[in-house]
Structures are given as C-alpha cells and as structure tokens.
C-alpha cells in the first residue's frame, strides 16, 4: 500500500478543488487520504466565520466526516487545535504521507498570496513534498507529462526521492527538464544539468533530448512558457531553503510560480 496523501482541508472543504484532485490521484496510486483541518488557521479556518464555538466546531467536524465518507478511497479525518505548522508536523509524524496537498481556499475572496505564504512557510518549517493545486481546479490525473524545473546547481533532496518515480510509474508518464538562462546565467549543457537530476535518483536515466535550456529574462516566464510548450500537466520544482549564490531559483521565484502556474505544482524541498 502506498503511503497516504494528507490534504490540508479548509472550512469550505466541499468546494476545495485540491481535495478532488488528491482523490483522483489517490485512486490511481491506490493510496488512502487524510483530511487535515487546523481549526484556528487563517487559511483553513477563515476568520469571517466568526469565533470558534462548540456549535461551529461540531458542524465543521460533521461536514468533514461526511466529506471523508464520500471519497473514492478510504479516508480519515484529522482535526487539530494547533497552529498549522505544528498540525502538519504531527500529521507527518503520525501518517508518514507520500506528500502533502494544498489548494487555494474555497472562499473566492481569499487572496492567493495567503495560500502562497502558507506553502512557503510549510516548506521552511515542515520540509516535505508539497503538491499545490490551482484554484480553477484540475482534472488531469494522474499527471502524465511532468516538467521538472531546475537551476543546474547540485541539490540533495531531504526525503521521498521516490515521489516522482511513483507518479511516473502509475501513469506511465514522461519527465522533461527545463532550465532557464538569461544574460547572467549561461547555458550549462545537458550533461551538467542532467547530472544533478541523476544524482538524486529521481527517475530512470534521461536522454539529453529531455532537457530544455531556454533563454528568458524572466525565470518564471521561461518556466511557464516551457510548461505550455510541453503541454505539461504537473510542474515540479526543487525548492531550496536558502538560495545558492548565483542560483536562478530562490524564494520569490518559487512563490511567483505558485501564484501564476495554471497547472499543479509539486515542490520537493532540498537540503541547504
């Protein structure tokens, strides 16, 4: 049995697109789901629902249990009274998930920056593979055309290097690699860039034709343009805690990709 997927579920869980995506992915992976709800978090329990009360808590719990029963795979509910980072740490310790799943909240008025800030904070405090699903919803599961964005610098993933292997295996998918160059970052060549991927055993050996070094003055624009060119249905980013000197990827670039990507983004945290 594959490790479960932990879905960070908001108060508007019935309209949470991330849950629908995670459920479809879980069916393909033959995995279970865990609905994690941090009762007092600004993202998962917006303040416009008023102060927490026994009635509202009970209503939320009932809604989550009903939602769990409706899923196509075995699903359990995990409600935490802790702040979100601590709730996620405890969920990771308890469930040992394959990955975490986060989506933009169902509340249409919730700024996307709140979701992005939550994702970036989680990567810092709970470095774990994190799948972020865009607001409009996405039904291409399991993903079959994965695009891995790298900066060409060596990296070491913290854990769960087999996430990509499992996603590729279940869908018999393909993996391409993109590196953006600009006036300050010259081409490195396929052998150099692909060596950083091979060193982490992310997938089988990739042919040079699967690397795309593209010129663009904007890293974000270059990555998203290549994703569209490749008709990718999942963007994978190696997320560093701190930027390497001269590295194209850093916190703000990752945040912009999360905000602007029309397709789901899988963040793989790397060691510093």
Angle at 152 between CA 150 and CA 155, to 5 degrees: 80
Average pLDDT over residues 176-201: 86
The CATH class of 145-270 is alpha beta
C-alpha–C-alpha distance, residues 35 and 41, integer Å? 15
Judge whether 160 and 131 are in contact, CB under 8 Å: no
CATH superfamily of 2-133: HUPs (3.40.50.620)
CA distances from 228 to 160, 254, 255 (A): 27, 18, 19
Domain boundaries, the chain: 2-133, 145-270
C-alpha–C-alpha distance, residues 63 and 219, integer Å? 41
More confident residue, 58 or 34: 34
Q: List the structure tokens of 219.
A: 């890293």
pLDDT at 178 (0 to 100): 93
pLDDT tens, position by position, 103-114: 865 555 667 777
* Predicted TM-score (pTM) of this structure: 0.88
Domains 2-133 and 145-270 share a fold: yes
Phi, psi of 255 (to 5 degrees): -60, -40
């Amino acid at each position: 049995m594959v490790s479960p997927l932990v879905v960070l579920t908001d108060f508007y869980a019935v309209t949470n697109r991330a849950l629908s995506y995670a459920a479809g992915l879980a069916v393909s992976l033959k995995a279970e789901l865990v609905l994690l709800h941090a009762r007092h978090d600004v993202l998962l329990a917006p303040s416009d629902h008023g102060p927490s009360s026994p009635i509202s808590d009970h209503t939320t719990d009932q809604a989550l249990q009903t939602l769990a029963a409706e899923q196509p795979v075995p699903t359990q509910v995990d409600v935490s009274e802790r702040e979100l980072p601590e709730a996620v740490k405890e969920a990771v310790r308890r469930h040992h998930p394959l990955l975490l799943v986060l989506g933009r909240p169902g509340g249409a008025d919730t700024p996307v920056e709140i979701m992005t800030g939550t994702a970036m904070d989680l990567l810092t405090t709970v470095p774990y593979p994190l799948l972020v699903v865009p607001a409009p919803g996405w039904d291409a599961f399991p993903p079959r055309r994965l695009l891995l964005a790298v900066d060409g610098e060596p990296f070491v993933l913290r854990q769960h290097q087999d996430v990509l292997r499992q996603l590729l295996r279940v869908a018999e998918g393909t993996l391409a690699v993109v590196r953006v160059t600009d006036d300050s970052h010259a081409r490195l060549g396929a052998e150099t860039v692909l060596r950083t991927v091979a060193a982490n055993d992310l997938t089988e050996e990739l042919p040079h034709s699967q690397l795309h070094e593209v010129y663009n003055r904007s890293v974000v624009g270059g990555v998203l343009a290549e994703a569209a060119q490749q008709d990718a249905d999942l963007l994978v980013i190696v997320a560093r805690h701190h930027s390497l000197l001269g590295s194209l990827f850093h916190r703000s670039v990752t945040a912009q990709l999360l905000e602007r990507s029309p397709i789901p983004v899988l963040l793989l945290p790397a060691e510093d």
